[in-house]
Structure 1
Amino acid sequence: MKIIELPIEFEFNGQKNYLYPSLIILNNELTLVDTGYTNFLSLIENEISKNGYEMKNLKNIIITHYDDDHIGSLYDFKEKYPWINIIASEIESKYISGEMKSERLVQAEEMLENMPNEEMEFGNWFIQQLKNLKHVSIDEKVHEGDMILDNKCRVLATPGHTSGHISLYFPSLKSVITGDAAVKENNELVIANPDFCLNVEKAEQSLTMIKNLKVENYFCYHGGKFTL
């Protein structure tokens, strides 16, 4: 088993940006963690094939949490590869499937009410982005401590950024896939976007818990791989 990061380059507001979804390879089966923004399907496909793997072997997609940069292309993946098993936490699955209005959308609409005029345009755009996300039903709902992927991966509940956020711990690889529970900034691990955290205190606790695992590799969705 191994984990590789998939650096996805894209442009936002005229600036070059990167996201780093993870690909888990286990017995020739592939598991993708998070799917990027809408229209990232081909970018991720290209990166997977560049690494010598075939999409026909993509068995699972694990979603760490509901945010447009993590679930944006999930619907497209499921449409194109209908056999894929989609895994998420029970809490986040309610938002991803559309059973409940997402926390992020509720937060964005509340923030819009007190936003200065010069930020209104972005606020409205962001709300529309969230409303445009297509709902996808979750095949496998997981909880803290669940062992998945042939018992090689332990699900970690890492709330804060969102309430049902999960990270993935691989004891045999001494590695964690962090989602947005930890991001790499200035060569250290910090919480993602404190201003958008639904609960900063819980986010800090989750970050501390992840750091205390004493692993060697942190696969961060923002900032890329951090190695101790």
Structure 2
Amino acid sequence: MEYKILCFPITMPFGNTENTVYPTLLWDKQNIILIDCGFIGALPILEKELQGHGLSTEQLTGLVLTHHDHDHMGAAAALKRANPNIKVYASAAEAPFISAQKKPLRLRQAEEIQKTLPPEQQDFGKAFCDMLRLVEPVGVDELFQDRDHKDWCGGCRIISTPGHTPGHISLLMDKDSIVITGDAIALEDGLPVIANPQYALNLEQAATSMEKLLALKAKAYLCYHGGICSLTD
């Protein structure tokens, strides 16, 4: 095996429904890198998925967090406890929110929205804020800047894609022309869209970042919300 790039689903209950997200695994002879790790409590599901590929959490060498939202880093602290040797990567701009050096921007946003909700939505808003407060911080071992490069799976370039959050990053797999979008692009009804635009901390930047990734004309876009988007058919 030279290397594999795997996009797989994690499904968990969310209120009265279910929410499915798609982390990505970069697996070569030297590295096994997970891109985002799911919700609070997702570690057992993640472990089961890895076992299906003949892997364990203890074999992971790295965890890249595209940003600090709960559905991307919710299981990060638990994963770090299960595998203390795993190296955590994030952008320099996002790291303070991941490590709790600064109050998470998403929690600040939720608390402000909570103040404006009508009475019938107050309970949901409070529950959402409470859930965000339960996200455990995790230390970041290596800070990324725009255009940083790693040798993972034939070459991986870090792309700054702010908007959803200020320090959001995506990854371009150079050799295979694959973009791992994080929340810079979501897949809805087979089309690329801005992920949850109502929650983008800077919607104009989010639109620019999506256009930036689509301009790469990659063979595939691995979207955390929606799965694999191919625009070359």
Alignment of 1:146 with 2:148, yes or no, is yes
**Does the Cα contact within 8 Å between 1:21 and 1:36 map onto a contact in 2?**
yes
Q: How does 1:117-196 map to 2 (within 5 A)?
A: 117-150=119-152, 152-196=155-199
CA apart distance, 1:28: 5.1
Distance between the aligned counterparts of 2:200 and 2:178, measured in 1? 24
Letter of the 1:11 partner, please give it.
Answer: P
Identity within the alignment, %: 38
For 1:19, the equivalent position in structure 2 comes to 21
CA apart distance, 1:14: 3.1
Q: Secondary structure at the match of 1:173?
A: coil
**Does the Cα contact within 8 Å between 2:58 and 2:82 map onto a contact in 1?**
no
Structure 2 residue aligned with 1:66, among 65, 68, 76? 68
For 1:100, the equivalent position in structure 2 comes to 102
Structure 2: 5+ residue stretches without partners: none
Q: Deviations over 1:157-208 (max 9, x none)?
A: 0001000000000110110100000000010100111110001100000000
**Does the Cα contact within 8 Å between 1:28 and 1:57 map onto a contact in 2?**
no
Number of aligned residue pairs:
228
Q: Secondary structure at the match of 2:63?
A: strand
Structure 2 residue aligned with 1:211, among 180, 189, 214? 214
Q: Deviations over 1:75-128 (max 9, x none)?
A: 000001000000000111100111111111111111111111111111111111
State TM-score, norm by structure 1: 0.96
Q: How does 1:197-208 map to 2 (within 5 A)?
A: 197-208=200-211
Letter of the 1:25 partner, please give it.
Answer: W
Distance between the aligned counterparts of 1:31 and 1:187, measured in 2? 27
Of residues 28-37 and 198-207 in structure 1, the stretch that sits farther from structure 2 once superposed is: 28-37
Distance between the aligned counterparts of 1:45 and 1:161, measured in 2? 28
Distance between the aligned counterparts of 2:119 and 2:211, measured in 1? 37
Aligned in 2, Cα 1:133/1:16: closer, same or farther, shift over 3 Å? Answer: closer
Letter of the 1:56 partner, please give it.
Answer: E
For 1:222, the equivalent position in structure 2 comes to 225
Of residues 205-214 and 149-158 in structure 1, the stretch that sits farther from structure 2 once superposed is: 149-158
Letter of the 1:217 partner, please give it.
Answer: A
CA apart distance, 1:29: 2.5
**Does the Cα contact within 8 Å between 2:43 and 2:79 map onto a contact in 1?**
yes
Of residues 123-132 and 196-205 in structure 1, the stretch that sits farther from structure 2 once superposed is: 123-132
Q: Secondary structure at the match of 1:128?
A: helix
CA apart distance, 1:52: 2.4
Distance between the aligned counterparts of 1:24 and 1:142, measured in 2? 17
CA apart distance, 1:70: 0.6
For 1:84, the equivalent position in structure 2 comes to 86
CA apart distance, 1:18: 1.3
Distance between the aligned counterparts of 1:67 and 1:178, measured in 2? 14
For 2:52, the equivalent position in structure 1 comes to 50
